[in-house]
Amino acid sequence: MTLSAPVTPETTTPVLPPGDDGGPPRRVKRGGKAGKQLRAGWLTYTILAIFTFGSLFPLVWTAIAASHSNARLAQSPPPFSFGDRLWHNLDQAWNTANMGKALFNTVFVAGTITVSTVLFATLAGFAFAKLRFRAKNLLLLLVIGTMMVPPQLSVVPLFMAIAELGWTNHLQAVILPMMVSAFGVFFMRQYLVQALPTELIEAARMDGANSLRVVWHVVLPVARPAMAVLAMLTFVMAWNEFFWPIIALTQQNPTVQVALTGLGRGYVPDQGVIMAGALLGTLPLLIAFAIFGKQIVGGIMQGALKG
Amino acid sequence: MTTHDSSAAPPVEGGAAPGRPGRAAESPEERRQRRRSWRFRMDTKASPYAFIAPFFLFFGAFGLFPLLFTGWAALHRVRLAAPNDMEWAGLDNFVRLMSDEYFWNALGNTFTIGVLATVPQLAIALGLAHLLNYKMRGSNFFRVAMLTPYATSVAAATLVFAMLYGRDYGMINWALDLVGIDAVDWKSGSLTTQFAISTIVIWRWTGYNTLIYLAAMQAVPKDLYESAALDGASPWKQFLHVTLPSLRPTILFTVVVSTIGATQLFGEPLLFGGSPSGGAQNEYQTLGLYMYEMGWTNFNLGRASAIAWAMFLLLIIIGLVYWAVTKLASRGTAGKGA
Amino acid sequence: MRTTPRTRMTRRAAVGTAAMMLAVTACSSGGDSDSNGGDGDKITLTVGVFGQFGLEEAGLYEEYMELNDNIVIEQTSVQKSEDYYPALLTRLPTGSGLMDIQAIEVANIYEVTNELSQYFVDFNDYDVDTGHFLDFKLAQATNADGKVVGLGTDIGPMGICYRTDHFEAAGLPTDRDEVSALWADDWQAYIDTGKEFVESDVDAAWVDVAGGVFNAVVNTYEERFYDTSGEVVYQESEAVQTAWDLAMDAAESGITAKQKQFEAEWDRAIANGDFATVSCPAWMLGYIQDKAGDAGEGLWDFAHAPSPGNWGGAFLSVTEASEHKEEAAKLAAWLTAPEQQARFFAERGSFPSSAEAVQAPEVADATHDYFQDAPIGRLFTEAAEGIPTLVLGPRDQVIQEQIANGLLAADTQGLSSEEAWESTVNSIENALAD
């Protein structure tokens, strides 16, 4: 099943002119962008504002819920404004859930997974996009086919293997199975097949560069925007991964999502604390979005799959 | 075997050092170059495999074994608590699926939720991308804001939505009440529950798809619009006749990715009702959820594995259909491009 | 000494994969400290619990660590039992990722005792006094060979919690003895009182949900879903039929609030007094107190159920995989000893599973000030004496959940009794089939 067929970009987008200095060729095209762009009217702003509100509201409400007591949350109508227990609930969630260690672990896990996924996906994506080798199409199909394996059931055999290795409750148990991603390979391949002018590689070859140098000096600079996007997608995904970590890890050495499962402690589950936990688990990503938002979004802008 | 037909097509391999024409006899310079060219050929031949090797090594270790194990388990009677204690069952588990009303129910639910979640999601994303493509103030703010749902974990998102959708105390029914609509029981009944779950999926993924579309739109060459404008095409016509055709590959990509995601939908329906039965009457039990119920509530690993493989095969069939459709479609629009 | 039968094939496959993974990852250990390592000569004991277990909150670990300064106790808690038990099941056959002590819910104790006992130690092999437990509790954790795999922490003798303000407004008596007398020995009278109640103009339902009625009634019988020979008999059992009919009566006469138990909405319904009665095991009192908050103080009281049953309760088991079985068994025995159970009740309201603890004055004489000083010690003790010795089976939980689902569909979607029953039987048969 050549899923690649529909998304193969060569069929539509005209081949880019090679950048004359070997820099990212994209810019050449971006030049004339301003020209005839349509201007947004009030209707546009209104629609966008509504959707922005819809995007942000559940998050804001999570914060509101996290600032109230169990008894207040149980009343009707639900609270619309912030209460006075936000710090108390956050503190409670932080302490009962082993959050300090969980955050450290999660940054480490998600960071490692991100670096390796992006690196390996770029290499493989480049090979699939621009190099010629035997069984290439078959192998690419295999990669895409692996995206279709339903992840839940891998848990049992995977855990048997992990246990055999004595890795239960160790971070490598959640890192190693996620070190590569078929989506990533596919993503990078789709980008590079179109964004990386073959002439650039040939020119580098002419100058006597070996494969590694080609990757370093030609592929990576071109691939950077897509790598940034893939990094963000992977990091967020790894951060929020839940199903496998809760089996492989325990709360003695948790990731954020595992730690959060221990929140309903005390005599009675405290909704406010649980919401505070949900907030704590999301907040670091939101802060990162706020800080790097422009770069991340900019990266997506440049690097998204055009084809 | 490697003949250098670098003139024909892009392939880089072989296009490098070897074939520099027009040099006379063997000079030391030449010899060095030839040695280098030998190394080059080795390099170009081996490096593709080296580049893809890490993926396949990791996949072999952590993806293939589970897949094969699951396939093997699907042919056995085996319980979760003793996964090594297998009793051969042949194709029983698969045959049973054919007449398993819960399986077909789950398949139907997966399909309807998939459609309910994917179609509006991609349509809204396309529309929003179009709007965001206008020249405006605060465009970065809008873009980042729309991406925030993606950062929210399924667990956190579903937790909030489950509360918003409460029958007696949820904010959505409260708002409906304000405009005179009676309370809706969002947690029972096929249509309402499936709608509610679809909105969670839509909420989390629309922004992400919006930005992908937006990026693709920005890459559409401007002269296409200019010439369309010269022909007197309205903005709407331009969207229809310039933007959409240019975006077709991207749209297909998002459709493929969304389809895979929808078929494997699991976290939202599980957490929405808090149980793998997906509603009192399995109103929103998806295939992923049914598999989970079979494995982790009924502890029947053999039957659960069969469901997993059925999902796997189903996706492959869908893949084939897509492939056939796009083949036909691209034949229809003539074979431009190499 | 794991005794799992392993087929050669899978073992070799697992080892092969393991070797491959090692090769791939030679130097990538983001590893962390060993959970079982002790600092100095201290021994770390780990306890895995689910939900609102309360041993830690009651200060029992702290006290034990003070008494035994070579022991450090670490607890791992998973909020939902539905997350906890499957993870435990996945880990047991591998002997990996397990705590020294694992809590087991009563719904799972049959399977653990009879089908998974090889993964747990026999408390008879250690110097543990099991004589003080209530007979039925000990019997539940003892298998045919006499192996004792679990020590009971608490039980859930049931009564009825009710809102005195609603009762008063509807012209019903409010005194707890009079209320008990309204439906003594007669569940139908309980439902009929409910019908009377909703005809008054009090803006509340009688009971939370039909499944709650079923649950309360079915647990007053010895034989529910299995008979003593281990056959699945839920379709014929008197317990199920009686409980089902009563629950359907409640659903069809519209006296339920149609709130699925333990959802956020149910919590709010409690807080707002949306239903006047709810079946109340001992551990539910604290739950109601917390959810209803200050606003509900003095509005709730507690009466006997028509007939007593048991809902919930747990056990502590020591895993074979533990490196400190001796110490773990000692800790489990201490945590479930009569004195600690009595304290556990005083702190948390979990009713003791130890016959000795039940007689301790801090249990027998206990009252609950949130429930208008109800003499809960006396009431629960009386209820506990009437708890039948349930006949358990391996799939009790699945059967019970599917019945609850069927009743919920009848309750919220108006299915008839026949439709709901048919759908329930279908689901159960599908779940039980190999």
pLDDT digits (tens, 9 = 90+) for A81-92: 899 999 999 998
Q: What does the longest C-alpha to C-alpha distance in chain A come to?
A: 74
Residues in chain B where the model's pLDDT stays below 50 = 1-23, 334-338
Q: What is the pLDDT of residue B96?
A: 93
pLDDT value at A307 more than 70: no
Looking at chain C, which residue has its C-alpha nearest residue A116? Answer: C28
Average pLDDT value for residue range A261-266: 66
Q: Show which of residues 31-90 on chain A sit within 8 Å of chain B, judged by CB atoms.
A: 32-33, 35-40, 44-45, 47-48, 51-52, 54-56, 58-59, 61-62, 65, 76-78
C204: confidence class by pLDDT, cuts 50, 70, 90: very high
Give the tokens for residue A101: 């260690």
Q: What is the pLDDT of residue A37?
A: 60
Residue A174: helix, strand or coil by DSSP? helix
Tokens 């848990």 -> residue: A155
CB pairs under 8 A between B and C: 111
Residue C4 domain flag: no
ipTM above 0.90, yes or no: no
Please enumerate, as own/partner, the contacts of A162-165 that have beta carbons within 8 Å and a separation of 24 or more.
A162/A248, A162/C96, A163/C91, A163/C94, A163/C95, A163/C96, A163/C97, A164/C14, A164/C15, A164/C18, A164/C94, A165/C18, A165/C21, A165/C22
| C147 shares its domain with C77 | yes
Which distant-in-sequence residues (6+ apart) come within 8 Å of A249 by Cβ? A168, A169, A171, A173, A174, A255, A258
Give the tokens for residue A248: 């492989």
Are C122 and C320 in contact by the 8 Å Cβ rule? The answer is: no
Residue A269: helix, strand or coil by DSSP? coil
Q: What is the pLDDT of residue A16?
A: 33
| C196 shares its domain with C165 | yes
Q: What is the pLDDT of residue B26?
A: 64
Looking at chain A, which residue has its C-alpha nearest residue C22? Answer: A165
**Is residue C380 within a helix (H) or strand (E), and if so which, with residue range?**
helix C376-385
A27 touches chain B (CB under 8 A): no
CA dist., res. B14 & res. A100, Å (int):
53
| C137 shares its domain with C246 | no
CA dist., res. C80 & res. B165, Å (int):
21
| C52 shares its domain with C108 | yes
A265: confidence class by pLDDT, cuts 50, 70, 90: low
| C274 shares its domain with C293 | yes
Strands C275-281 and C205-207: parallel
A171 touches chain C (CB under 8 A): yes
Share of chain C above pLDDT 70, in %: 91
Looking at chain A, which residue has its C-alpha nearest residue C35? Answer: A252
CA dist., res. A304 & res. B250, Å (int):
9
Residue C10 domain flag: no
Conformational region of residue B277, where left means phi above 0, alpha means psi within -120 to 50, and beta covers everything else: alpha
Burial category of A138 from C-beta neighbours within 10 Å (exposed 0-12, middle 13-18, buried 19 and up): exposed
Q: What is the pLDDT of residue A299?
A: 61
Residue C395: helix, strand or coil by DSSP? coil
> Which of C31, C57, C78 has the CB atom closest to A170's CB atom?
C31
Q: What is the pLDDT of residue B21?
A: 44
C188: confidence class by pLDDT, cuts 50, 70, 90: very high
Residue of higher predicted confidence among C3 and A282: A282
The tally of domains found in chain C comes to 2
| C173 shares its domain with C82 | no
Residue C230 domain flag: yes
pTM for this predicted structure: 0.85
Q: With contacts defined as CB-CB under 8 Å, which chain A residues touch C46?
A: 252
Please, what is the average pLDDT of chain A? 79
Give the tokens for residue B183: 């309370």
Q: Measuring CA to CA, which residue among B270, B220, B132 is closest to residue A297? A: B132
Looking at chain A, which residue has its C-alpha nearest residue C44? Answer: A252
Average pLDDT value for residue range C244-258: 96
Classify residue A78 by its DSSP letter: P
A111 touches chain C (CB under 8 A): no
pLDDT value at A303 more than 50: no
| C165 shares its domain with C102 | no
Q: Show which of residues 223-282 on chain A sit within 8 Å of chain C, judged by CB atoms.
A: 246-248, 250-253, 261-271
Supply φ then ψ for residue C421, to 5 degrees: -65, -45
Q: What is the pLDDT of residue B300?
A: 93
Q: Establish how many alpha carbons lie within 13 A of residue B41's alpha carbon, considering only the half-sphere containing its beta carbon.
A: 11
CA dist., res. C250 & res. C194, Å (int):
8
Average pLDDT value for residue range A54-65: 91
| C259 shares its domain with C301 | yes
Domain boundaries, chain B: 1-73, 98-332
Are A297 and B140 in contact by the 8 Å Cβ rule? The answer is: yes
Q: With contacts defined as CB-CB under 8 Å, which chain C residues touch B267?
A: none
> What residues make up the domain containing C274?
157-310+370-432
**Is residue B112 within a helix (H) or strand (E), and if so which, with residue range?**
helix B101-132
Conformational region of residue B233, where left means phi above 0, alpha means psi within -120 to 50, and beta covers everything else: beta
| C188 shares its domain with C283 | yes
Domains, in order of start, for chain A: 41-303 (1.10.3720.10)
* CB crowding A30-66: b at 16 or more within 10 Å, else e: eeeeeeeebebeeebbeebeebbebbeebbebbbbbb
pLDDT value at A44 more than 70: yes
* Yes or no, beta carbons of A201 and B56 under 8 Å apart: no
Average pLDDT value for residue range C51-56: 81
CA dist., res. B174 & res. B164, Å (int):
9
Q: CATH number of the domain that C58 lies in?
A: 3.40.190.10
Please enumerate, as own/partner, the contacts of C145-150 that have beta carbons within 8 Å and a separation of 24 or more.
C147/C113, C147/C117, C147/C122, C148/C122, C148/C123, C148/C124, C149/C112, C149/C113, C149/C117, C149/C120, C149/C121, C149/C122, C149/C123, C149/C315, C149/C317, C150/C104, C150/C109, C150/C112, C150/C113, C150/C120, C150/C315, C150/C316, C150/C317
Q: With contacts defined as CB-CB under 8 Å, which chain A residues touch C97?
A: 159, 163, 168-169, 247-248, 250
Looking at chain C, which residue has its C-alpha nearest residue A271? Answer: C264
| C167 shares its domain with C51 | no
Supply φ then ψ for residue C269, to 5 degrees: -65, -40
Give the tokens for residue B49: 């495999």
CA dist., res. B203 & res. B149, Å (int):
7
CA dist., res. B74 & res. B71, Å (int):
5
- CA C354, C358, C361, C363 torsion-angle sign: positive
For the domain made up of B98-332, give the CATH fold. MetI-like fold (1.10.3720)
- CA A194, A199, A201, A202 torsion-angle sign: positive
Apex C397 CA angle, C392 and C403, nearest 5 = 110
| C151 shares its domain with C161 | no
Q: With contacts defined as CB-CB under 8 Å, which chain C residues touch A238?
A: none
Are B297 and C81 in contact by the 8 Å Cβ rule? The answer is: no
Average pLDDT value for residue range C47-62: 87
A302: confidence class by pLDDT, cuts 50, 70, 90: low
Residue C388, preceding bond cis, omega within 30 degrees? no
| C95 shares its domain with C136 | yes
CB pairs under 8 A between A and B: 346
Are B114 and B264 in contact by the 8 Å Cβ rule? The answer is: no
Q: How far is CA A45 from the centre of its chain?
A: 28
Give pLDDT tens digits for A143-198: 888 877 778 778 888 888 888 888 888 999 999 999 999 889 988 887 888 778 88
Give pLDDT tens digits for C90-118: 899 888 889 999 999 998 999 999 999 99
CA dist., res. A9 & res. B246, Å (int):
10
> Which of C22, C30, C270 has the CB atom closest to A112's CB atom?
C30
* Yes or no, beta carbons of A39 and B44 under 8 Å apart: no
pLDDT value at C37 more than 60: no
